[in-house]
Amino acid sequence: MPPRVDAERLRADFEALSAIGATADGGVERPTFSDAHLEARAWFLERARAAGLETRVDAAGNHSAVLPAGARTLLLGSHLDSVPDGGRYDGALGVVAALEVLRSVHDAGLALPVTLEAIDFTDEEGTLVGLLGSWAVAGSLPPETLAAPRGGRDALVAGLARVGLEESHLADARRDPASLAGYLELHIEQGPVLEREGVDIGIVTGIVGSRSFRLMFTGASGHAGTTPMEARRDAGVAAAAFVVAARDLVVRGYPGCVVTVGSIAFEPGAFNVIPGRARLALEFRSLDSDELDAMEAELLDLAGAQGVEVEVEPVGHWEATPLDAEVQAAIRGAAAALGLSTRDLPSGAGHDAQALAAVARSGMLFVPSQGGVSHSPREHTAWEDCVNGANVLLGAALALA
């Protein structure tokens, strides 16, 4: 009989966490270093201490519960920060399940040859940088990304100051790869595949690469009433045309890939002023790095062909990452022992595992997302699926240990 987590204790934790930063429509709002995020992190450490576990906060602000044993550490984790107006499960499920695995092992008095550590990574979602904490652990924080982070320099500097972290010390969070026995992450699928096929557990084969750019279109502002249509250099129209053309280019030329303009702002932003400037947040993803190179070239050319000047600022670059076959096998075996169906699939979402994969054998398991919805208050996963995921996480951790 494979060991199982305490489902009621897990549920109590999940519900308590979901109340922190809860939004009116059933989601959560816990952007990095917001009050709600800091409250969630304090709550996590308190739960770890209540379970008799050690706790640790590193130089990148990663928060951990630790069950010390052997010299090498098996990391189990995810993230407590959320996107704006996000869902309750993205990241949070993986962190509370990781904590529950440590408690279950601790309660069972299992003597493992490795230390187990449940870790909440700082700023996975990119309110400030994206994969900030996991990149720091992997020793691969890109200096150019810190110089021009997705959330802007000011937000990064203010955020770090708010929690007393030093940018120059973030790199001190680096772990010696020889000290890591592996990395495992339970996460909701955030897509439609498992639910559509009626499969219990997704075994993640790889994670998409993605690139983010801030684009600034500059035309000419002017009087909305007296400037003839043919005399305008309207940055707003140029930007809007780009958004539609970018979508068409990727749908037509890059099947299976995605492109998103997540925000667009016209300046000066008045009814009666032709927008002289338009700022866009552009992001696109593929499982294949060469394809990302091709998309980048075509999309940036397209931006330059809208009749106004365009400035391009790279603000994020996450590599497409294959995940470890041995870890996939451990997940597959744990699911089979529990009589759960599995399916291999890639991840269209980015995850901390893509940073950890550079320094430790890393793997992820997914549980179904209702309607494939995520990054929305409508995000939902059936509780039975959450418990299945936690039990498979436990089984895979024991197999890897």
Which residues contact ligand HGY (rule: CB under 6 A)?
Answer: 124-125, 349-350
Phi, psi of 274 (to 5 degrees): -65, 125
Hey, which bits of 220-361 come out as E strands?
Answer: 222-223, 258-267, 273-274, 277-286, 309-318, 321-322, 342-347
Residue 363 binding: pick among Mn ion, ligand HGY, none (C-beta 5-8 Å cut-off by kind): none
Residue 120 touches Mn ion, criterion: CB under 5 A: no
Please, what is the minimum distance in Å from the beta carbon of residue 28 to Mn ion? 11
Please, what is the minimum distance in Å from the beta carbon of residue 77 to Mn ion? 11
Q: What residue is closest to ligand HGY based on CB?
A: 349
Cis amide prior to 268 (ω within 30 degrees): yes
Residue closer to Mn ion, measured from CB, 165 or 188:
188
Residue 350 binding: pick among Mn ion, ligand HGY, none (C-beta 5-8 Å cut-off by kind): ligand HGY
Residue closer to ligand HGY, measured from CB, 205 or 218:
205
Please, what is the minimum distance in Å from the beta carbon of residue 126 to ligand HGY? 6
Residue closer to Mn ion, measured from CB, 90 or 100:
90
- Determine the Cα–Cα distance for residues 363 and 146; give it in Å rounded to an integer: 26
Q: What is the DSSP string of 170-218?
A: GGGGPPPGGGEEEEEEEEE--SSHHHHHT-SEEEEEEE-EEEEEEEEEE
- 191 CB-side CA count, 13 A: 15
Residue 191 binding: pick among Mn ion, ligand HGY, none (C-beta 5-8 Å cut-off by kind): none
- Determine the Cα–Cα distance for residues 320 and 382; give it in Å rounded to an integer: 29
The 260-289 contact track toward Mn ion, x by CB under 5 A, reads: ------------------------------
119 membership: H or E segment, kind and range: strand 115-120
**Binding segment toward Mn ion, per CB under 5 A, in 46-54, 90-98, 252-260, 340-348:** 90-98
For the chain, the 3-state helix, strand and coil shares in percent, each to the nearest 5, are 40, 25, 35
Dmax (CA) of the chain? 79
Residue closer to ligand HGY, measured from CB, 36 or 278:
36
Residue closer to Mn ion, measured from CB, 32 or 306:
32
Residue 123 touches Mn ion, criterion: CB under 5 A: no
Residue closer to ligand HGY, measured from CB, 80 or 278:
80
Taking the CB of residue 51, how many other CB atoms lie within 10 A of it? 17
Residue 189 touches Mn ion, criterion: CB under 5 A: no
Q: Which residues pair with 204 in a beta bridge?
A: 345
Q: Looking only at residues 16 through 55 of this chain, which bind Mn ion when binding is defined by CB under 5 A?
A: none
Residue 90 touches Mn ion, criterion: CB under 5 A: yes
Residue closer to ligand HGY, measured from CB, 211 or 332:
211
Burial (CB < 10 A; 0-12, 13-18, 19+), residue 176, is exposed
Residue 91 touches Mn ion, criterion: CB under 5 A: yes
Contact set with Mn ion (CB under 5 A): 90-91
